[in-house]
Amino acid sequence: MNQAAAITRTLREEDIAVLTFNEPEKKANILSKRVLDELDSHLNELAEMPLAGLLIHSEKPGIFIAGADLREFAVSLDMPAEETAAMCRRGRQLFQRLSQLPFITVAAIDGVCVGGGTELALWCDRRLVSNSSHTEVGLPEVKLGIFPGWGGTVRASRILGLANAVEMITSGQSLSPDEAVKMGFAEDQIAAEHLLSAACQLIRAEQKTKQFERDRKAWDQPIQLGETELAFLGATASALIQSQTKGQYPAPLTALEVLLEGSALSADEAGELESQQLAQLWGTPVNRALINVFFLSDRNKKDSGVENPTDQAVSEVRSVGVVGAGIMGSGIAAACVKRKLPVSILDAQQDALIRGTRHVLEEVAYNKQTKKADAERLTEFAPLVNATTLDAEVATSDLVIEAVVENADVKRQVLSRLEAAMPAEALLATNTSTIPIGRLAEGLAHPERFCGIHFFNPVRKMPLVEVIRGEKTSDETVLRAVAFAKAIRKSPIVVNDSPGFLVNRLLFPYMNESLQLLTEGVPLKLIERMAKQFGMPMGPITLYDVVGLDTALYAGKVMWEAFPDRIEASPLLLALVKAGRLGQKTGAGFFAYPDSKKGKGQPDPELDKFLEAYRKDAPTPDQETITARLFLPMLLEATRLLEEGIVRDVRDVDLGLIYGIGFPPFQGGLLFWADRLGTEKILAMLKPLESLGPRFQPTPLLDRMAREGKKFYQE
């Protein structure tokens, strides 16, 4: 059966042709092989037509072109380098024909334009962007461990200038319409409804001046740059990239080299260099891992939170009540208000309510662009905030989230009081980080309308939300909670009830092991270094100081009570808390923070006294063993989570850790990393560690997988 066309050709005026991208039954326009073939046929026919110009645009709401088809990429990762280079060459030469047609070509961009979409636009002679807030232009390929491979490096450096191209390509960050014009990507930004007529005017103007023909000639040539300028750009950009990627993400640095070297070549030679170099990154472990992360996040966006959801729409959360105006409550309230949801916020303490409300208002008023409070934002958002001490005002919301102190009795009391005042169809949720949902649901008349909605601290920065399903939570409650989290731009993962849920359950074995190593005499610095070399954003011991040793002790208690065979109630941690060394917030924890409470920790000789008191005799492990000891307990715990059915899919484990604790994306996720090692290797790594106790003994799932030759990611 013939599929309906993704690109249609029409005439806007008698001599101006329009190619309209609108792939049927898809939310986005994607440059799959099939779509590229269609483009190829259109270009063949257009080349023979007596036209003044060609316009390219999209009729997909909010999207111009969302890039290449990553599913097609993912199955070709094993391709030999020569084939990869040839594939890039074909794509580039196809787009290049846009710049060789006997008339001017203009891309009229409204909506998201990224990756291959941006490269296609760059091969046009001119670009216009709409000034809509949904319009963005980007070359995010480095986030997949590659760089633009259809001539993007060649065209961007010639059209935007080399320095701008370096910034855009090596950072992978998108440009707003404003930035796109300032950087020279687009001629102008226009209201979406006037975009096509503006593009026609541009064609008419260029018909007279023929400037595009002179630009074509210039852009075929090397870029004229002095050697000093080039060396300066190379040195500054490479220093910035090194500091950001720490040598763990090779693509930005390779892209920089391609851009610099390609600038001294003709466009065709630079294109060939681009194809050859891209082939070197294709299929590397980092490329595969980052493509996996892309699919994890894509899957998460489409996941409703339950198996086989019915087509019936769930009722939307249109107002939110937050009880407890502390760190978390005020963060949650601000996240809702920023997405235009009215919020009533309550606290038992008047001063806490005032402090929390001020925090909400400060956060919503903050303008990221100007890095200052913005009176206009404040005027827009402030009416959505209702600070109150009356239950009745909170209880009328569609969803009420309690974020009071982590104490089961207090929480239970608050929850039943709220439930009694809430309408029958409203949702009730808790932000508890450790207390089982089942325990908190005990006194409720309608446990089916209750679940955990667990945000991470700081709410404004952390994308993850765990939606915790109690035994009695209904599907509808889960669906509504997931839809709510997505509406406030978070990434919800649904997990079943368990101590520590998903993220804390996996984090504690890792943090616990770091203290074990420390008490065995492994230098603190070395433990931190091995974690960071693995790719963690900070070492586990610094993490204790950031979280607060008291908080870690409190949450840890839940974990060691639940799993005493593998998590130790660390006497060292207890002693430090007793001594008032709570971490950054008190100026000392494992490290000292002499200058201010925040900032980088300094080694603290005072710590040695504590370490001496709890020092165990043990042989000194080598560096490889330290890494294994940190990450294998986390992995084994993940296999237990899978066996117990706490998570619905291995992918939830991987995304949860990436979004929740910054597990290194270049490893692809914990279980993706484990698949790369293979079960045999993992068992061999565990063997010498088994004497340390049950926390290093292979789990039944791991044994079974090894016997059956299985992987976590099965097709």
Sheet containing 464-469, strands listed edge to edge, beginning at the edge strand earlier in sequence: 385-388, 343-346, 320-323, 399-402, 427-430, 450-455, 464-469, 491-496
* # binding residues, ligand NAD (CB under 6 A): 24
Q: Smaller CB distance to ligand NAD: residue 255 or 323? A: 323
For residue 337, give Cα distances in angstroms to 320, 342, 365, 460. 9, 6, 10, 12
Chain mean position to CA 315: 27
Q: Closest Cα to residue 632, out of 677, 664, 668? A: 677
Q: Are strands 399-402 and 427-430 parallel, antiparallel or unpaired?
A: parallel
CB closer to ligand NAD, 139 vs 547: 547
Closer residue to ligand NAD in complex, CB, 262/356: 356
Site mask for ligand NAD (CB under 6 A), range 445-484, x = bound: ----------xxx---------------------------
Q: What mask of x and - would describe binding to ligand NAD in positions 320 to 359, judged by CB under 6 A?
A: ---xxxxxxx----------------xxxx--x-------
Contact string (CB under 6 A) for ligand NAD, positions 382-421, x = contact? ---------------------xxxx---x---x-------
Minimum distance from CB of 458 to ligand NAD (Å)?
A: 8
**Residue from 277, 344, 433, 477 binding ligand NAD (CB under 6 A):** 433
Q: Give the separation between CA 381 and CA 59, rounded to whole angstroms.
A: 32
**Least distance between ligand NAD and beta carbon 563 (Å):** 19
In a 3-state reduction of DSSP, which class is residue 104?
strand
Is 146 or 325 the residue whose CB approaches ligand NAD more closely?
Answer: 325
- End-to-end CA distance of the chain: give it in Å, rounded: 27
**Residue with smaller CB distance to ligand NAD, 492 or 698:** 492
Pairing of strands 372-373, 366-367: antiparallel
Shortest distance, position 407 Cβ to ligand NAD, whole Å? 8
Q: Is 42 a catalytic residue?
A: no
By DSSP bridging, strand 188-190 and strand 450-455 are unpaired
Q: Which is nearer to ligand NAD, 203 or 414 (CB)?
A: 414
Which is catalytic among the residues 42, 57, 359, 454? Answer: 454
Report the candidate in 315, 356, 358, 364 with the shortest Cα–Cα distance to residue 337: 364
| Binds ligand NAD by CB under 6 A, chosen from 432, 496, 512, 667 | 432
CA distances in angstroms from 551 to 34, 101, 165, listed in the order given:
54, 65, 45
Both tokens of 580, joined, read 């008032």
Contact (Cβ atoms closer than 8 angstroms) between residue 347 and residue 356 = yes
| Smaller CB separation from ligand NAD, 505 or 629 | 505
Instruction: Pick between residue 93 and residue 457 the one whose CB is nearest to ligand NAD.
Output: 457
Residue nearest to ligand NAD (CB): 326
Q: Residue 337 CB, nearest distance to ligand NAD (Å)?
A: 17
280 binds ligand NAD (CB under 6 A): no
Site string for ligand NAD, 153-192 (x = CB under 6 A): ----------------------------------------
Q: Is the Cβ–Cβ distance between 397 and 319 less than 8 Å?
A: yes
Token pair, residue 39, equals 């483009």
Q: Please provide the DSSP assignment of 628-668 as one string.
A: HHHHHHHHHHHHHHHHTT-BS-HHHHHHHHHHHH---GGGT
- Contact by Cβ (8 Å): 59, 83: no
CB of 557 to ligand NAD, least distance (A): 12
* CA gap 582, 367 in Å, rounded: 33
Minimum CB separation from ligand NAD for residue 434, in Å? 7
Stretch that binds ligand NAD, among 41-49, 123-131, 306-314, 431-439 (CB under 6 A): 431-439
Angle at 338 between CA 335 and CA 341, to 5 degrees: 85
Helix (H) or strand (E) holding 351: helix 350-365
Q: Within 13 Å and on the Cβ side, how many CA atoms surround 315?
A: 9
What is the three-class DSSP state of 509?
helix
Q: CB of 430: closest distance to ligand NAD in angstroms?
A: 7
Question: C-beta of 546: minimal distance to ligand NAD in Å?
Answer: 10
Q: Which residue lies nearer to ligand NAD by CB, 39 or 428?
A: 428
Which amino acid type is present at position 709?
Answer: G
Binders of ligand NAD among 514-533, rule CB under 6 A? none
Among candidates 122, 4, 146, which has minimal Cα distance to 73? Answer: 146
Q: How far is the CB of 326 from ligand NAD (least distance, A)?
A: 2
Question: Given the complex with ligand NAD, which of 458 and 688 has the nearer CB atom?
Answer: 458
Between strands 450-455 and 464-469, the pairing is: antiparallel
**In sequence order, what E strands does 125-194 have?**
126-130, 136-138, 188-190
Three-class secondary structure of residue 68 per DSSP: strand
**Min. distance of Cβ 554 from ligand NAD in angstroms?**
8
Prior bond of 148 cis (ω within 30°): no
Q: Which residues are catalytic?
A: 454
What residues make contact with ligand NAD under the rule CB under 6 A? 323-329, 346-349, 352, 403-406, 410, 414, 431-433, 455-457
